[in-house]
């Protein structure tokens, strides 16, 4: 029997911005294990996802999982595969027909995406009553609010349910209060807009991405020496930056304090439309080249909320029932504690819960997570892994998941 005296029993945490899209067939076990030990019972890839959703679910329903899983339509990859706009739209719609939980696009990383093309993706998401997840177009101080305005205009014109990815690093990194004012006004006008943040004062991304295109030092007011190779502690020089930039998938972090918690996370998390999501995932061991938010986002969020005086019930809602509402009806009966709800639970110590992962060591499990129950079975208990009872979350219920492995 699991003893929970003196502990908090919560619905399992729901990460709607989990990220494991590079080599998921090889890395999903490591990825899910680090989510599970952070209290996450449902890890959905709504930032990237898959460009072949039917094949994705067809593969993963045959392997066992520690967490429930699901994906969005990855527009970025579809755009890389074809320049024909009609073909892009056809592939996006096919993914929706195959069960995708939504449509996702990262405009900053593909700035040639026109407003009209973006509007087409929004209309497809609206047609299937699924959300559009957007990484905004700008992350510089000078232009970030233009990205917020563009996203809100797309929602207004299409009527789509819109989610803005990691507002604290893209859209509200420098002018969060103004970004929140714009979103709040849009919500009050009747639009359904949500946004997420992660509880870290620094961002990290791939050196070969558009975000590090020429001019990045001026955009972010950073130098080469400010960049740290995640998982190694190596500080970059101009020479090493250029060398790593020629490689695929090398992640670098900016200094702590680049996006101060006091002016980003702390402001946003008090808004009713804002929730917690990681925008991360651990893909290798040891010394993963991944932001520590992939292992410690949710425990860190609880600790930060308690530190700034946010009620425990409020931060838990932003990690359970609010993300479930964003992904309705796919997540109906999740993120709540009541008869008939999904038996996904996390038990944690409110005195000790905290993330332990760091830039130098992203692979550390969170502290204070006592037990995690997935689908009614104990998946994690005081440092020991248990049943793999995760199930597919999609709009194609005909697939039969593999039997869980103990």
Question: Which tokens go with 132?
Answer: 């559009």
Report the pLDDT value the prediction gives residue 400, as an integer from 0 to 100.
53
Cis peptide, bond prior to residue 286, ω within 30 of zero: yes
Give per-residue pLDDT as tens, 4-60: 788 999 999 999 999 998 889 999 999 999 999 999 999 999 998 999 999 999 999
- 72 and 211 co-located in one domain: no
pLDDT at 106: 97
What does pTM read for this prediction?
Answer: 0.95
39, 345, 8, 198: CA torsion to nearest 10? 30
In a domain, 87, yes or no: yes
Nearest to 302 by CA among 281, 316, 321, 323: 316
| Last-in-domain residue among 187, 220, 253 | 253
Name which of 312, 311, 310, 291 is nearest 355 in CA terms: 291
Residue 397 pLDDT: 63
Please work out, in degrees rounded to the nearest 5, the angle formed at the alpha carbon of residue 355 by the alpha carbons of 101 and 231.
Answer: 85
Average pLDDT per run of 10 along the chain, which is 406 residues long?
A: 84 97 91 98 96 96 96 97 98 97 97 98 98 97 97 98 98 98 98 98 92 93 93 92 93 94 98 98 92 97 98 98 97 94 97 96 97 97 96 80 49
Say yes or no: 61 and 153 in one domain. Answer: yes
On whether residue 343 sits in a domain, the answer given is yes
Residue 399 pLDDT: 63
Question: Six-digit token pair at 340?
Answer: 């008939």
Q: Which two tokens stand for residue 131?
A: 């959300």
Cis preceding linkage at 329, omega within 30: yes
What's the confidence (pLDDT) of residue 249? 86
Same domain, 285 and 223: no
Residues 210 and 299 in one domain: no
Number of structural domains the chain divides into: 2
CA 159/CA 139 separation, integer angstroms = 25
Pair 243, 266 in one domain: no
Give the CATH number, domain containing residue 381: 3.20.20.140
Asked if residue 108 and residue 39 are part of one domain, the reply reads yes
pLDDT at 404: 47
| Integer Cα distance of 166 and 197 in angstroms | 5
Q: Report the DSSP pairing between strands 68-74 and 103-106.
A: parallel
Q: Are residues 188 and 298 in the same domain?
A: yes
Residues 303 and 165 in one domain: yes
Q: Are residues 81 and 227 in the same domain?
A: no
**Domain extent at residue 270:** 8-203+257-385
Q: Does a structural domain hold residue 394?
A: no
Per-residue pLDDT at 403: 47
């Amino acid at each position: 029997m699991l003893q929970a005296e003196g502990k908090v029993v919560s619905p399992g945490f729901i990460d709607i911005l989990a990220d494991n899209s590079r080599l998921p067939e090889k890395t999903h076990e490591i990825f899910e294990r680090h989510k599970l030990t952070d209290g996450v019972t449902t890890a959905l890839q709504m930032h990237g996802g898959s460009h072949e959703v039917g094949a994705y679910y067809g593969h993963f329903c045959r392997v066992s999982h520690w967490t429930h899983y699901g994906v969005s339509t990855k527009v970025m990859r579809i755009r890389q595969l074809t320049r024909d706009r009609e073909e892009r739209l056809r592939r996006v719609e096919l993914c929706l027909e195959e069960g995708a939980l939504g449509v996702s696009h990262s405009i900053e990383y593909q700035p040639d995406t026109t407003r009209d093309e973006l509007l087409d993706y929004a209309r497809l998401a609206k047609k299937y009553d699924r959300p559009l997840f957007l990484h905004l177009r700008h992350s510089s101080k000078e232009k970030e609010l233009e990205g917020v305005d563009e996203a809100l205009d797309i929602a207004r014109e299409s009527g789509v349910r819109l989610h803005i990815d990691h507002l604290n690093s893209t859209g509200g990194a420098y002018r969060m209060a103004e970004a929140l004012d714009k979103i709040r006004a849009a919500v009050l006008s009747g639009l359904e807009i949500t946004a997420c943040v992660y509880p870290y004062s620094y961002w990290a991304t791939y050196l070969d991405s558009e975000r590090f295109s020429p001019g990045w030092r001026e955009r972010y007011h950073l130098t080469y020496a400010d960049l740290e190779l995640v998982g190694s502690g190596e500080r970059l020089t101009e020479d090493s930056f250029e060398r790593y930039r020629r490689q695929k998938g090398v992640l670098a972090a900016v200094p702590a304090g680049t996006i101060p918690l006091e002016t980003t996370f702390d402001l946003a998390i008090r808004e009713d439309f804002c929730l917690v999501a990681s925008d991360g995932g651990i893909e290798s061991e040891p010394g993963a080249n991944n932001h520590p938010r992939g292992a410690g986002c949710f425990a860190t969020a609880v600790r930060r909320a308690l530190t700034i005086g946010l009620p425990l019930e409020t931060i838990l809602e932003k990690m359970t029932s609010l993300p479930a509402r964003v992904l309705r009806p796919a997540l109906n009966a999740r993120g709540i504690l009541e008869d008939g709800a999904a038996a996904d639970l996390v038990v944690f110590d409110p005195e000790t819960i905290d993330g332990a992962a760091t830039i130098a060591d992203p692979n550390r499990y969170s502290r204070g997570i006592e037990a995690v129950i997935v689908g009614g079975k104990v998946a994690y208990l005081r440092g020991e892994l248990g049943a793999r009872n995760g199930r597919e979350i999609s709009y194609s219920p005909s697939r039969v998941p593999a039997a869980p492995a103990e």
